[in-house]
Structure 1
């Protein structure tokens, strides 16, 4: 089955504020962009993914992706509005739509392909983050409506909206997003993509 993957990315200056105690503001900006680049690269390499649509207003990221990625401007109104704009673009193709958050720097293409293969068995599906409460992947089969409900407790909110929670293994890199310092340590242990590795290994500028 073919998929279009929608990746929303906040402007880097607004992202990952919960890492403020661990990284400087400049390092957090670089990290947001680097994680997005690694997530997008892994998604693009996953079997079954026909196209990746990135929704962002970040000018640096847009410049970096301009020649290689289908870009959509962020419409304002928060994450769900941004996801909705990406879904509208993705619907132009006759394919399943998958929303993938852009903070999965350890993502492996094979793990995403496995999750999408599982999702293909359901009209709508959701993959929860490692903690079980957030959403890292949200899917709908071709022609079916997909209404994002990201925010606190989004995994349960998406289940209530008719998405089947997939039994993706806890070890899958699809479930390993980054919000706090412990998450960052975990993805470093798993092995991050090259852009994130460069930021963390060379110029992460710790606070204090």
Structure 2
């Protein structure tokens, strides 16, 4: 099975807008860069760089992906789900039989978390967020098994789509996959636990 990793990434100056009340634009850009950089460093411990696709509207991000040996794909869609579908379709055209999509704002992510997703005994493995409502990573076997339904209530939406298609579903609960940074309280905790991000 050839599994590819797909990262759909907002331009650094647009990501983490909910932190704008506590971080300047320059600080958000720096933090978003560090998030993506660390996600990529973890990703290449499990995936060869050429099996990693970065989908973005940012020329700088695409250039960085190419330099790192990843596949860079200029984003054409209007949403995260569009970008992930674009990345998955492109990966399938390059031989992917399975796709792992992953949020890039997971500062606690470790290689073991990605391996846990790949080893999940299911056709569709969903890594939930801390609230148990959202999706922070999604493994699809086969690669285009269900539509991407990221957004509010995405855990239930992905599970329902998989069950409707008659696919085996597993929910993966791991701190490295669940702990994202969306609000100032998340950021405060990250400052204490991972000061190297600042």
TM-score range, shorter chain: 0.7 to 0.9
Give 1:77 deviation, angstroms: 1.2
Q: Relative to structure 1, is the Cα distance of residues 82 and 150 closer, same or farther in structure 2, using a 3 angstrom cutoff? A: same
**Is the 2:101–2:137 Cα contact (8 Å) retained in structure 1?**
yes
Relative contact order (C-alpha < 8 Å, sep 6+): which is higher?
A: 1
Return 5+ residue gaps in structure 1 as ranges.
202-208
Give 1:50 deviation, angstroms: 7.2
In structure 2, the partner of 1:65 is 65
Q: With structure 2 as the length reference, what TM-score do the two structures score?
A: 0.86
Q: Deviations over 1:11-68 (max 9, x none)?
A: 1221101101211011112211221121122112127997211111122222222222
Q: Relative to structure 1, is the Cα distance of residues 184 and 95 closer, same or farther in structure 2, using a 3 angstrom cutoff? A: farther
**Counterpart Cα distance in 2 of 1:162 and 1:5:** 20
Give 1:107 deviation, angstroms: 1.1
**Is the 2:146–2:162 Cα contact (8 Å) retained in structure 1?**
no
Work out which of the residue numbers 181, 184, 194 in structure 2 matches 1:181: 184
* 2:78 corresponds to 1:77: yes
Give 1:72 deviation, angstroms: 0.8
Give 1:140 deviation, angstroms: 1.1
Q: Deviations over 1:55-89 (max 9, x none)?
A: 11122222222222111111131111101111111
Q: With structure 1 as the length reference, what TM-score do the two structures score?
A: 0.82
**Counterpart Cα distance in 2 of 1:76 and 1:190:** 36
Return 5+ residue gaps in structure 2 as ranges.
164-168
* 2:12 corresponds to 1:9: no
Give 1:102 deviation, angstroms: 1.2
Give 1:143 deviation, angstroms: 5.3
In structure 2, the partner of 1:204 is none
In structure 2, the partner of 1:168 is 173
* 2:26 corresponds to 1:26: yes
